A and B are shown apart, each in its own frame.
Chain A
Amino acid sequence: MGFGPMMSSLLRSKTGPLLVSLQIAVTLAIVINSLFIVLQRVEKINRNTGMDVDNVIIAYVRGFGEGFDVVNSIRNDIDLLNSIPGVIAVSVTNQVPLSGSGSGSGLRAVPDETIDAAPAGRYTWSDKGLDALGVELTRGRNFYAEEIEYILPEGTSPPQDSILITQALADELFPDDDALGKTVYWGSMEPSIIVGIIGHMHGSWVGWDKLSNVVIQPGIYAYTTNKFMIRVEAGMRDELMPIIEQQLGESNRQRVVKSVRSLEELADRSYRRDRGMAIILGIVITLLVGLTALVIVGLSSFHVTQRTKQIGTRRALGAKKRDIIKQFVLENWIITTAGAVLGALLTVVVAYWLETSFSLPRLDWNYLPIGIVSLWLLSTLAVIEPARRAASVPPAVATRSV
């Protein structure tokens, strides 16, 4: 029951429904593939960094002029920063994690140049470094204060005895063994001993697949350009940033405060491309779904007006309101299902194209049934109101001439 008139009316105007099916198919292909990309980017942006990103401030300063005393300047700066109420810990670093700017090195478990080294982001900071970033040491020990020396650009590098590494790097260096206490070798074959293991932290380049490989050496880079990591009490960051900038600026006229930024802002910049892509595709999805829904509504309403007479006749011949609604909803289901089948095919084609031409990750096939069901629900929602209107056509209309 209900199938007969529906099929006949569908067959009478084939092109319209066919076009809507086609539209649903392309919509499905775009929406599923885009949504997959969006969710992947969102996941990437929201990964755990292992740091207290929200409460860290990074200050970039640079000394200039004849006779600028770098070591003294750094000492004074650290004292000054520590004296500001709300500051928890301060350390100089050679590079800033998540900022997009960093250094990298390779480490080996055996001193053999011919084997491939495990790549890692390389940082140098003091015994306060972990605290200044809010990074958690899970095993072993932090650097001792005695291990921290000033590293001058023109001096020989100090002995690199103790290092901290992340668990990810430990697993890559010693897949079957405990890395703590082991000796590893730099490119120059100089040895270092792993004294502590950091559970997890990110390095500088957010697009790098070895982002969690990090090695930290003890020391304070005494270069004219310096980067301070400053961790502050929760919620005080925005209040303290201008204060830090002002106090650093006033305390020494031989030094330019290049910028004071929150680590959050630096990380946001690093993820800008990913965020941009997610937002643009999000807009595309919204517009697309909205447009397709509107077209379905428009088409159904149009059919209702077109078929007022037919509906009236059916009602006059005893069809209930329910039957009329059923007719329209069923009609819509046929169109949507045809679109979904074609759409599934098209989704696979687009996913294949994205994967092979742009080496994007392979589509998670779970998205396909979820997408189809959502589209199906949406199209049903879109047809309900026109169908209601159709059902309310009084039986008498059929007998009246238009």
Chain B
Amino acid sequence: MNSPRFQVGSATRLSRGAWAAGAALLVALVLAPWWAEDSDLRSIAEFAYLVAIAQMWNLLAGYGGLISVGQHAFIGIGGYVLLILSLNAGISPFLCVPIAGVVSALVAIPVAGVVFRLRGPYFAIGTWAVADIFRLILDDIPAIGGGSGKSLTSALMAIPGWEREATTYWIALGLGFGLTLGVYLLLRSRLGLALTAIRDGVPASESLGVMVGRVKLLVFVASAGGLGLAGALIYLTKLRISPDSAFSVDWTVLMIFIVVIGGIGTIEGPIVGTAVFFLMRGLLADYGPWYLVVLGSVAILVMFKARGGLWGWVASRFDLHLFPTRRRIRIEGPQPITATTPAAQSPAAER
């Protein structure tokens, strides 16, 4: 009897099409400094870095199951690494970005040592307390501006205008695409499988040899590193940094709302969420705090009606996956598998 031949893989027809479209888009965006206005470049850069930070929060919460309300700590660290190294040590600001990523990742290790003692909602707030600690410490250091902050323009003065704008833009673009791609590759790796297993059940995965603590630490550190990169880039664009801004929970508010509304636990979610955020901000620009009221209400609505967010709803309805991470079985060969025969009759009836 022939058993059907099958193949295991994750690409879908749509995902392959999406990759082609994505590549074309990327080329167009990379060439943007030559065809777009400065203000457009800044908007695209902002879109890109919001996607980047959202992906990092999503990695931690949606895939790692660690919900943190204090990840903005690492954005702040990234921003201050930029400040300290470029102003005080004279290192090229652009080079500071990857350094900031590394520093953030390293700082995340002792931070994890502290906050991993807390679970669930207490972990969430504990990370927030840590972020506040960083803010207060930096408030007190006059050499880097203290509470009123410091301007970064002097570090960038030496670089000619177009080059500055373009390089900053390319870094932002690189972060947006790169961190999205990075998360995707991570999830398709063995680490990704471990994450999915942990998400489904900790004891079961431990019994299969998954080192849950190590995996969570890795994800926490990776998320922190990504946020450090983003933080440096963000303050490169803003040109002025202060502890209250860099360590502001507003960053986490953005990350959370973008991810939740876009679709938590999916890679497409942060992209969709950022688009929704831009739309809402544009529409509600004249209404001040109302746009946050609306954002908050939509996030609550998502928890009630569609936990998977906008993309989650679309994906389940139409079975669309641009970044497929699940593995599917494709049957090849002449015989399709038919439905199994009904379960055996009860013993009493057989008598």
User: Are chains A and B native binding partners rather than an unrelated pairing?
Assistant: no
Give A residues with C-beta under 8 Å from B: none
